[in-house]
Structure 1
Amino acid sequence: MAAGKWASVGILLVVECFALSLWFVSAAILPGMMAETEITPFRQAALSSGVQLGFVAGALVSAVLGLPDRFDPRRVMGIAAVSAGVINLTLLVSVPGSTAAIAARFMTGAMLAGVYPVGMKIAVGWGEKDRGFLVGTLLGALILGSALPHLFALTGSGDWRLTVLIASIAAIFAGLVGQLASLGPHHARAARFDPSVVVTAWTNRKIRLAYAGYFGHMWELYSMWAWIAVIAALSYARHMPEERAATLASVTAFVSIASGTVTSVIGGRIADRVGKADVALYAMVVSGACAVFTAIAFGGPVWLFFLIVVLWGASISPDSPQFSALVADNAPSHQAGSLMTLQTALGFALTFFTVQATPVLAEWWGWPPVIAIMALGPAFGIYAMARLTATP
């Protein structure tokens, strides 16, 4: 018996949540790996930024080849999730921080490009009037999945290998259970990547500003997600033993990232009423301010630092789906898919550099200035959204 709309959407949420738990595995297990072997700041960053770079490569290859169009998207998603889980298992036999481990993270990111975007394609096939809600809900699942490795780390009794194993099994399970979903009545073939969209992305003012806002958002988002556990552990260590600080840091990272799950769904509902650009602007005002306050509170009272970081995590996510929706709203219908693909690829390419540079700059300058620099992204995005709302 074929799964109905909400059963299929529920299955997709499980797939996205469990498969995307692979994204920040390296961030969650980094303290454990470094306790066993010395890893340079460059390689520490590469374990996380490699996923971003792999995702960009995978997304472009998938778009150019039209994989979800030529084959059943459920099969594409399933193969990608299972492959990502298997590849992630190679971390168990690789030297921590080695070239082989970094390569595994790159390939994991490439496979995840066949999970999240393809899941979005399946989800929107189940509705037209409620597509904003469907997209926001799926993004919420991605956010929760991004937070899960920090929860897994709490169950590992200090053994980072158990976290790797749990996340890999979750991704493999996700790929298999995803085959139970059905395709909705509005499922259609998406346009393949059209090179001419580069011209549209630059000449269409509203799309150009939506891109700019998205880039500012991505400047901040993945740097925060990738390094907040490390930042929190260092801050807490000034007031408690390192082991206890590391445990509380994992809790902080999970709660702060996962809080964006709820705010993204709520933000999507509000955006349909007050405007997508307005919701994105207000979210970036709050997240940018939180970045500055986090830098100021670094090393300060534990309770204060925790509250600010949780608010930061709650405010850093709701704007994300609005940028894609703004592109879709203002794009020619035959170019919407390609323009969103290009937007995603360029945004994640930017995160490769920001995630990679963050620990290196922190080693030179200390963490507070680097945290404050993250606020430059929202500031740029606020300017872009203000100009977009003023555009007729």
Structure 2
Amino acid sequence: MLTRHPLVTIVIAQLFGTSLWFSVNGVGLALQGAVGLTESDLGLLTIAVQAGFITGTLLIATTGLADRVRASHLFALSAVLGALINAAFIMVADNVTLAAVARFATGLCLAGIYPLGMKLVVSWTPNHAGAALGWLVGMLTLGIASPHLLRGLTLNLPWQWPLLLASLLALIAALMIYLLGVGPHLPATAKSGRPWAGLAAFKHKEFRAAALGYFGHCWELYALWALVPFLVARELERLEAANSAQPWLSFATIAVGMPGCVLAGRASRRYGSARVAFVALATSGALCVFYPLLGSTPPLFLLALLLIWGFSVIADSAQFSALASATAPADRLGSALAMMNAIGFTLTIPAIALVTSLWANQGLGVIWWLLPGPVLGLMAMRSLLRPAGRT
């Protein structure tokens, strides 16, 4: 029954599975009060997840695991392990070192969810990959935003509840993908794996350009998502509004990227993935420039700008993946995407570290640290611009 609507199944499973990613950030303010974590500690925990994801993607890319094991099996196993580790975080939250280890392990598991989700989409819906991946990345965005929603729904309950609910969603995701299986349009496995197989894709000029654009996008994206609760809290304080609105507004700021991804995917069918990605990256880059300069404007205006930023900052992600998928060797697609993810997410670590450690001293000025990503990404992807309709 699931195979009748494979894309729907995959994107919902992606939503549920990636709820593990920012599950701790969703209860960040509660953890600051309950166990004494600082803003820098929360930044460390976010970086730990990123480091785990990078390590995991490098592992599956360099070993060829992403192409030697059925994608549905690897996704399901990763989601189950991630759910268990995410729940175990509750027992070590008061110890920053152990908490960071738990988040690192969660990131390892996410490496078997996100890149493999992209491969599953291509295996079931190879045509109009930009539109299909737009839905997938949109659900990733919604999944990353979901901890803030879960916290808003359980605001009067202990902080452990959103974490447990995220783990439950990941278990459901594992079951859905296990039952779905791999689509018919890609080989389920590769006969043999070569070390560093994913790097071979960088020999292709167009893949390399798409990857470099993606790397610039990554520098900005996750650092902004890490900043969202702080940016929202700043405007709520200026409005003298209740803190209870913070999780809801943080959720909205990140979740609005979901329709951004979907609309970008639709636009890619007319204008091409390269053009759509360029416009989205240019928009978010412009906000990197101007948002700090507008810091004294009315809080509601800045919250509205945050929504525009949340809409545009992720809209290009799926289009970069579609461009990469179209130029990577088909029998090494999983490894190539995993390698691209690994390098891109490596760049998120210094970006997150900069903005979270400097926020207390620089305030909105930390946003300018994000600007090199969009600028360099736009420069790299100029060669990808082609006549409308090409992806």
- Same-fold call, TM > 0.5? yes
Of 299, 302, 316, which aligns to 1:302? 299
Residue identity in the other structure for 2:126: E
Are 1:327 and 2:301 an aligned pair?
A: no
Give the equivalent residue in structure 1 for 2:100: 102
Using the TM superposition, give the Cα deviation of residue 121 of structure 1 relative to its aligned residue in structure 2, in angstroms. Answer: 1.9
Farther off after superposition, 290-299 or 214-223: 290-299
Using the TM superposition, give the Cα deviation of residue 367 of structure 1 relative to its aligned residue in structure 2, in angstroms. Answer: 1.8
Q: Deviations over 1:111-154 (max 9, x none)?
A: 01111222222222223323332222111111111110010110
Give the equivalent residue in structure 1 for 2:375: 379
Give the equivalent residue in structure 2 for 1:224: 224
Q: Deviations over 1:74-106 (max 9, x none)?
A: 222112111111101122111336111111110
User: Does the 8 Å CA contact 1:235/1:299 hold for their aligned counterparts?
Assistant: no
Give the Cα–Cα distance (whole angstroms) in 1 for the partners of residues 240 and 201 of structure 2: 54
Give the equivalent residue in structure 2 for 1:261: 258
Residue identity in the other structure for 1:367: G
- TM-score normalised by structure 1 residue count: 0.90
Give the Cα–Cα distance (whole angstroms) in 1 for the partners of residues 205 and 234 of structure 2: 43
Using the TM superposition, give the Cα deviation of residue 109 of structure 1 relative to its aligned residue in structure 2, in angstroms. Answer: 0.7
Closer/same/farther in 2, CA of residues 155 and 109 from structure 1, 3 Å limit: same
Of 37, 46, 49, which aligns to 2:44? 46
Are 1:389 and 2:389 an aligned pair?
A: no
Of 264, 267, 270, which aligns to 1:270? 267
Give the equivalent residue in structure 2 for 1:350: 347
Farther off after superposition, 120-129 or 306-315: 120-129
Give the equivalent residue in structure 1 for 2:359: 362
Give the Cα–Cα distance (whole angstroms) in 2 for the partners of residues 367 and 322 of structure 1: 32
Give the equivalent residue in structure 2 for 1:140: 138
Give the equivalent residue in structure 1 for 2:161: 162
Are 1:113 and 2:111 an aligned pair?
A: yes
Give the equivalent residue in structure 1 for 2:215: 215
Give the equivalent residue in structure 2 for 1:176: 175
Residue identity in the other structure for 1:339: A
Residue identity in the other structure for 1:225: W
User: Does the 8 Å CA contact 2:131/2:268 hold for their aligned counterparts?
Assistant: no
Farther off after superposition, 66-75 or 191-200: 191-200
- Identity of aligned pairs, percent? 32
Give the Cα–Cα distance (whole angstroms) in 2 for the partners of residues 179 and 195 of structure 1: 27
Give the Cα–Cα distance (whole angstroms) in 2 for the partners of residues 299 and 86 of structure 1: 44
Q: Secondary structure at the match of 2:127?
A: coil
User: Does the 8 Å CA contact 1:235/1:298 hold for their aligned counterparts?
Assistant: no
Q: Secondary structure at the match of 1:125?
A: helix
Residue identity in the other structure for 1:221: L
Residue identity in the other structure for 1:374: L
- TM-score normalised by structure 2 residue count: 0.90
Closer/same/farther in 2, CA of residues 81 and 41 from structure 1, 3 Å limit: same
Give the Cα–Cα distance (whole angstroms) in 1 for the partners of residues 9 and 327 of structure 2: 31
Give the total of aligned pairs: 384
Closer/same/farther in 2, CA of residues 178 and 346 from structure 1, 3 Å limit: same
Farther off after superposition, 106-115 or 253-262: 253-262
Moved over 6 A (4+): none
Q: Deviations over 1:174-228 (max 9, x none)?
A: 2223333143221414654653764762x54433332221111011100111220
Give the Cα–Cα distance (whole angstroms) in 2 for the partners of residues 169 and 390 of structure 1: 44
Using the TM superposition, give the Cα deviation of residue 285 of structure 1 relative to its aligned residue in structure 2, in angstroms. Answer: 1.5
Using the TM superposition, give the Cα deviation of residue 52 of structure 1 relative to its aligned residue in structure 2, in angstroms. Answer: 0.8
Farther off after superposition, 335-344 or 92-101: 335-344
Closer/same/farther in 2, CA of residues 282 and 338 from structure 1, 3 Å limit: same
Closer/same/farther in 2, CA of residues 92 and 341 from structure 1, 3 Å limit: closer
Closer/same/farther in 2, CA of residues 282 and 67 from structure 1, 3 Å limit: same
Q: Secondary structure at the match of 1:38?
A: coil
Q: Deviations over 1:18-52 (max 9, x none)?
A: 11011111221111111123334442211111111
Residue identity in the other structure for 1:271: S
Give the Cα–Cα distance (whole angstroms) in 1 for the partners of residues 116 and 326 of structure 2: 20
Closer/same/farther in 2, CA of residues 14 and 200 from structure 1, 3 Å limit: closer
Closer/same/farther in 2, CA of residues 71 and 383 from structure 1, 3 Å limit: closer
Structure 2 spans left out of the alignment, 5+ residues: none
Give the equivalent residue in structure 1 for 2:315: 318
Give the equivalent residue in structure 2 for 1:240: 240
Using the TM superposition, give the Cα deviation of residue 4 of structure 1 relative to its aligned residue in structure 2, in angstroms. Answer: 2.6
Question: In the TM superposition, what are the counterparts of 1:81-92 in structure 2 within 5 Å?
Answer: 81-92=79-90
Residue identity in the other structure for 1:270: A
Give the Cα–Cα distance (whole angstroms) in 2 for the partners of residues 117 and 104 of structure 1: 21
Closer/same/farther in 2, CA of residues 290 and 258 from structure 1, 3 Å limit: same
User: Does the 8 Å CA contact 1:194/1:335 hold for their aligned counterparts?
Assistant: no
User: Does the 8 Å CA contact 2:275/2:385 hold for their aligned counterparts?
Assistant: yes
Give the Cα–Cα distance (whole angstroms) in 2 for the partners of residues 21 and 93 of structure 1: 19
Residue identity in the other structure for 2:196: P
